[in-house]
Amino acid sequence: MVVSYKELTFREFLSTYDLHKLMITTKESRKRSVDPMSTSQFILTQTSDVEGNCVICMENINDLLLPCLHAFCIRCIANEMEYRHDFSCPICKTKIKNPIDDSWEVPDAPNQSEVNAYLKEVARDL
């Protein structure tokens, strides 16, 4: 058994609490009809914090996009794979055979000079 902890900011605590509450509510209401839009909207807003950090460790930047379109840091996904034979997305529970190979790497945002160079090239081609 691995025991770990992290001191959370108030916003991180609320985010974690809301996600936990959603998981409990979803589990209890699986037999009843659940509004999928409210669940989807919540999940979309909970896949990263304001800085784009992973919601599992809340430290590393999201750099891996799973086929279900949820993003996490590669370190957390690798740790999850190490402990589970059947991997599923930590948020939506979609089964994924090999999350590292079947995922997309999230590139860094381009800087302003790269954007300018791209726009000049596009304008030249018109």
Does residue 62 contact residue 52 with C-beta atoms inside 8 Å? yes
Does residue 55 contact residue 48 with C-beta atoms inside 8 Å? yes
Does this model's pTM top 0.85? My answer is no
List the one residue out of 36, 64, 34, 37 whose CA is nearest residue 48.
64
Measured distance CA(9)–CA(51) in Å, rounded: 13
pLDDT at 35: 53
Measured distance CA(34)–CA(92) in Å, rounded: 14
Q: Which range, 34-43, 82-91, 94-103, has the best average confidence (pLDDT)?
A: 82-91
What confidence category does residue 93 fall into, taking pLDDT thresholds of 50, 70 and 90? confident
Phi, psi of 48 (to 5 degrees): -160, 160
Domains in the chain, CATH or no CATH each? 10-125 (3.30.40.10)
pLDDT tens column, 6-61: 676 777 677 777 777 777 776 666 655 555 544 544 544 555 555 678 888 888 88
pLDDT at 25: 75
Does residue 29 contact residue 45 with C-beta atoms inside 8 Å? no
Paired residues of 54 in beta bridges = 48
Does residue 91 contact residue 47 with C-beta atoms inside 8 Å? yes
Measured distance CA(47)–CA(65) in Å, rounded: 10
